[in-house]
Structure 1
Amino acid sequence: MKSKFNKYIAAFFVAGVAGLMACTEDFESQNTKTNGFTEDLQSYDYMYYTLPITVVEQGIYFNYDWGGGKNWPFQTMQNLEADMFSGYFHDMNGSFNSNNSTYHLNDGWTSSNWTYTYGYIMTAAKNAERRNADKPEFLGVTKILKVELMHRIADIYGPLIYTNYGESTGSEPDDMKTAYYAFFTDLDEALTAIRTYVAANPKTNLFAKSDFLTPNKTYDDWIRFANSLRLRLAMRLSNVDPSKAAEEAKKALSDEGGVLEAPTDVIAVNASTSGFTNPLGEINKGWHEVFMNASMESFLVGYDDPRISKYFTPAAGGSEGALFNIAGTYKGVRQGTGVTHNKYKDHSPSTVAQNTDAILLTAAEVWFLRAEAALRGYISGDAGEYYKKGVETSFAQWGAGSAAEYLESEKTPADYKDAFDAKFDAKAESTVTPKWDNALSNEQKLEKIITQKWLAIYPEGCEAWTEQRRTGYPKLFKVAVNNSGGSIDTDIMIRRLFYPQALISDNPTQYGQLTQALGGPDTGGTRLWWDTGRNF
């Protein structure tokens, strides 16, 4: 991590928190100063209406240039949190191991997703809604983006400011049930808006030039995106509000517009057409701070998974004091060792580069969502067939060849052996295999579905961590060192991030409302609304 990071956090944090209550129109002046788009320039090609939308498109996977750098905010917003807690990545840098890795949560880091999303990206989304109130062709897209943006914040922190954001009456928080129901309503309104426009203008797509997310840049793509997003959120409620989950799942899959299905149906920030530079790629390729997590090693190596070479690069090896040679193998870093050395720098880095598209939602994920929906009886169809389709779609998406042999495999996750200290060795937490078996219990089938979904939605750590907490799958390695002071149980693992602690003094009323809606202490050990600790 760049040395100037702490200076930026200290200078910017209070201003960012204050942005929760700030007038959202401040976005326009910030954008004009940063990017030089005056109102005259914005008048061309509908830029006045689409400019704030494109900020949200890139800002979901934080890439907003506010003048202080775009990559280190992403590192603190996602890479040192969800990406690690999901079991995908770990930074080899020993200086990080006394903080989030061992559950000694760093407020400056854990606050950043809340702070920057509200300070910049939700601000742009609100502006886009206001500017496009009478332009359904843009309003529908905005509402879909707003849901994709803010469900991630809800799933990381819990109760949040959503329905009242930017209102003159105040910014009273929503509990998670209210927020989720509002997400579904916004998706309803988005589909209505887009279809209203398309019915009147069947051959005109005014948003295509500004579309940085969908594969074909069509309104049909946005409808499939909305339906797929609805299905994702529906299944999130399966353990806490099953009737609503079933209702929304059926609505998503019965909509005439369809969902993402083909391997090329990927919602991702396009790095070739948007000017987007993948911040994870810069942290990986430029800073050399993104490495395979030990849990990823356990599953990918244990399964002899062909996608491993698509996800990671073989280890270089060669660090002094190694217990065995790892050169040419795929080797991960275990979370929660608390070591201070940097010897893990010779382990397997990610393949994500600066020009890699930033994945948000894929057809493979949708097939696994369908598998779970069928398993729970929400929809008709065979859960096993949907499961197999999910694996096949993921293999095709990544160019990993045929999945036929893999789907017959009874291989299990591998034990982990630390290259430098045997006390960090760990037995595999799971014995789940890729092969589907109709004779298994629903719980065992769910483990298969979620484990393969976790492998398929790489490298999107926010969704991976959320689903791991909701279901308990895949079974990840637990931290070897727990420095949470008792607020996070080692076996139950981290459940959320606490709210920015500056709110306690800067906005005690709002902080009190948030924690009351949370229903538990504002710590990393408190379960969120949809996190019930059971699956059936």
Structure 2
Amino acid sequence: MKLNTIKRTILCLSLLTAFGCTDNFEDINTNPEGATPEQLAQDYNNIKSLIKPAFSRLYVSDITWQYQIQQSLQADGWSGYMTTPINFGPTNNHDYSLNIGWNSTAWDYAYVDIISYLYKVEERAKGKFDNYYAWSLIIKAATMQRITDMYGPAVYSKFGIETKATYDSQQEIYQNIFNDLEFAITELTNRVNAGETSAFVGTDLSLYNGDYKQWIKYANSLRLRMAMRIVKVDPALAKTQAEKSISHPFGVFTTSSDNMMVKSPLDLNVIDVMSHVWVGLFMGADMESILGGYEDPRLSKYWETSNVVPGEFKGVRTGIQYPTSSTYANFSQSGERTRKGLVTWMSTAEVYFLRAEGALRGWNMGGTAQNLYELGIKASFDQNGASGADAYIADDSKKPKNYVDPINAVNNAVAASKVTVAWGTDKETNLEKIITQKWIATFPDGQEAWSEYRRTGYPKLFRITNNQSGGVISTALGVRRLGFSQSEVNNNPKGYESGVAKLGGPDNGATRLWWDVDKANF
């Protein structure tokens, strides 16, 4: 497997340099008040050029090694989706000996490649071209939701205001994002109601092709996701924000055409490259246990059968000892779902599962919990071209299966979960069903799956067997967050100190985030 080194981070070591260390240096650093009539006559290209980079940087879709060290070597493994067949030197995230170099990358590139651009959009568009400003806020919300759910406190309100910015707490970030989404949704809704033709066509690299209504639905759906994330720490705010999204005239995702998907600029899928070209990314043991136990038809869409046990899907257990670099080289590699050059930012299936949980909690979600749960399964089957959803939904006998490692029996494990697919009778069991099915449907976005696992404890996953954290990270609880970027430690010490203070615990992988509270789900 290839493990490339970060090159640009050497030049972009702090938020201070984030304003200059970009591919479009001249454009980014142009005085926003100096936009000439000629520039504006060019269809606002001085604004559009700043938005485009986010489409390939938010979920890295064109540079495989960047995706690898931003997500593949972190959340994709901790979520139970997929794993690597070998260790990488003395520090390795999968055995909880966290690698600060890898774990700094998501932070560094989010600010350098996305937030710095969107800050310039704000300078050029706010109060003058608020359709573009609203659009930038939606993308900013999607970016910072991921960053704060990785690290906790982060730079948000002070970005661009303070040279070396202090951090907002995660609670403050969530409230700021809710406010930004409210502005964006209201602004674009007013323009739709006024009959305005979208100005985003040609710049929008998603399948929405600039449709204002679709971006409003995405913003509402993102707000719903964030509302559910905070349900255990601020249930009143969670309910308010969730119901606001559902009651909006354009609402949230309900059909397959609503799926928020972006075409890779190189028409590749980085997961496919890591799995097949690098031969270094394989199905996780949890996928084999859960989907295999359910005889889930999506399993063959997500993964290929193995060569170690011909004709069978075999996953690798995360966080074990790997005898050699080739020991697990014949296990299941990625399949059809990650072969296409499309990246899903958010799916209709996920939104149905969010609504199902909301209904389970007594919120007004426009349907019953059971009905919305079943619609979520059907939406996922539809997205993946799988058949047999009705029979699958009705099955109350199949359960996740035990895991058997054909190489080393020491890695064998009894199935962590015992839930079936069919709707049950008590809240906690039904929540486990909802989150387990959402976990299946959200594949391959390990970051979102890891966040939901931390919030709810579901789906129940296998524990690692080779904990090398020196007692810092609990094997039972797993990694709870990423440590702050080394660039901030080195170049923004006061900002870093403010982040640690608002974190409420040591800057390590065991400290829980604001919404990750140690309490029951109900």
Please name the residue that 2:334 is paired with. Answer: 350
Would the aligned equivalents of 1:164 and 1:171 in 2 still touch at CA under 8 Å? yes
CA distance in 1, matches of 2:167, 2:88: 36
* 1:83 partner SS: helix
CA distance in 2, matches of 1:45, 1:345: 51
Q: 1:397 to 1:132 in 2, by over 3 A?
A: same
2:287 is the alignment partner of 1:296: yes
Would the aligned equivalents of 2:200 and 2:209 in 1 still touch at CA under 8 Å? no
2:373 is the alignment partner of 1:375: no
CA distance in 2, matches of 1:482, 1:517: 28
Would the aligned equivalents of 1:84 and 1:293 in 2 still touch at CA under 8 Å? yes
C-alpha distance after superposition, 1:267-319 (max 9, x if no partner): 12123xx45643323223322222111111110100000101111111122xx
CA distance in 2, matches of 1:489, 1:23: 35
2:441 is the alignment partner of 1:447: no
1:335 is aligned with what amino acid? T
Equivalent of 2:9 in 7, 13, 30: 13
- Quote the sequence identity (%): 38
Please name the residue that 1:323 is paired with. Answer: none
C-alpha distance after superposition, 1:439-494 (max 9, x if no partner): 22x11111010000000111111111101110000001000110011110001111
C-alpha distance after superposition, 1:6-28 (max 9, x if no partner): 3xx3x54343332x123636547
2:222 is aligned with what amino acid? L
Would the aligned equivalents of 1:337 and 1:480 in 2 still touch at CA under 8 Å? yes
Equivalent of 2:375 in 386, 389, 402: 389
Would the aligned equivalents of 2:503 and 2:513 in 1 still touch at CA under 8 Å? yes
2:296 is the alignment partner of 1:305: yes
Would the aligned equivalents of 2:91 and 2:99 in 1 still touch at CA under 8 Å? no
Q: 1:129 to 1:283 in 2, by over 3 A?
A: farther
Equivalent of 2:185 in 191, 201, 206: 191
Please name the residue that 2:314 is paired with. Answer: 331
CA distance in 1, matches of 2:509, 2:82: 19
* 1:117 partner SS: helix
* 2:328 partner SS: helix
Would the aligned equivalents of 1:313 and 1:348 in 2 still touch at CA under 8 Å? yes
* 1:436 partner SS: coil
The alpha carbon displacement at 1:193 in A equals 2.2
1:286 is aligned with what amino acid? V
Please name the residue that 2:448 is paired with. Answer: 463
2:261 is the alignment partner of 1:268: yes
The alpha carbon displacement at 1:258 in A equals 1.2
CA distance in 1, matches of 2:261, 2:392: 27
Please name the residue that 1:90 is paired with. Answer: 83
The alpha carbon displacement at 1:349 in A equals 0.8
Please name the residue that 1:51 is paired with. Answer: 49
The alpha carbon displacement at 1:187 in A equals 0.3
The equivalences for 1:133-532 within 5 A come to 133=126, 134-168=128-162, 170-200=164-194, 202-215=195-208, 217-271=210-264, 274-275=265-266, 277-317=268-308, 326-341=309-324, 342-351=326-335, 352-353=337-338, 355-379=340-364, 381-409=367-395, 410-437=397-424, 439-440=425-426, 442-532=427-517
CA distance in 2, matches of 1:368, 1:63: 26
Would the aligned equivalents of 1:97 and 1:337 in 2 still touch at CA under 8 Å? no
2:116 is the alignment partner of 1:132: no
Would the aligned equivalents of 1:86 and 1:465 in 2 still touch at CA under 8 Å? yes
Q: 1:23 to 1:90 in 2, by over 3 A?
A: closer
The equivalences for 1:22-37 within 5 A come to 22=17, 24=19, 27=22, 29-30=24-25
CA distance in 1, matches of 2:278, 2:499: 36
The alpha carbon displacement at 1:98 in A equals 5.5
Would the aligned equivalents of 1:102 and 1:479 in 2 still touch at CA under 8 Å? yes
Would the aligned equivalents of 2:456 and 2:521 in 1 still touch at CA under 8 Å? yes
Q: 1:23 to 1:86 in 2, by over 3 A?
A: closer
The alpha carbon displacement at 1:502 in A equals 4.3
Q: 5+ residue gaps in structure 2?
A: 29-35
TM-score by length of 1: 0.90
Please name the residue that 2:31 is paired with. Answer: none
CA distance in 2, matches of 1:246, 1:158: 22
CA distance in 2, matches of 1:483, 1:191: 46
C-alpha distance after superposition, 1:46-88 (max 9, x if no partner): 3222111111122111247xxxxx2211100001101111111
The alpha carbon displacement at 1:500 in A equals 1.9
1:13 is aligned with what amino acid? T
* 2:11 partner SS: helix
C-alpha distance after superposition, 1:343-381 (max 9, x if no partner): 211111112556421111011000000000011112253
Q: Cα RMSD over matched residues?
A: 2.3
CA distance in 1, matches of 2:334, 2:474: 29
Would the aligned equivalents of 1:95 and 1:340 in 2 still touch at CA under 8 Å? no
Q: 1:430 to 1:506 in 2, by over 3 A?
A: same
1:305 is aligned with what amino acid? D
Q: 5+ residue gaps in structure 1?
A: 34-38, 65-69, 318-325
C-alpha distance after superposition, 1:107-160 (max 9, x if no partner): 111111111111222111212222222112211111101000111000011000
CA distance in 1, matches of 2:278, 2:17: 34
Would the aligned equivalents of 1:93 and 1:345 in 2 still touch at CA under 8 Å? no
TM-score by length of 2: 0.92
Would the aligned equivalents of 2:221 and 2:245 in 1 still touch at CA under 8 Å? yes
Would the aligned equivalents of 1:76 and 1:110 in 2 still touch at CA under 8 Å? yes
CA distance in 2, matches of 1:411, 1:197: 50
CA distance in 2, matches of 1:377, 1:24: 46
Please name the residue that 1:77 is paired with. Answer: 70
Q: 1:502 to 1:138 in 2, by over 3 A?
A: closer
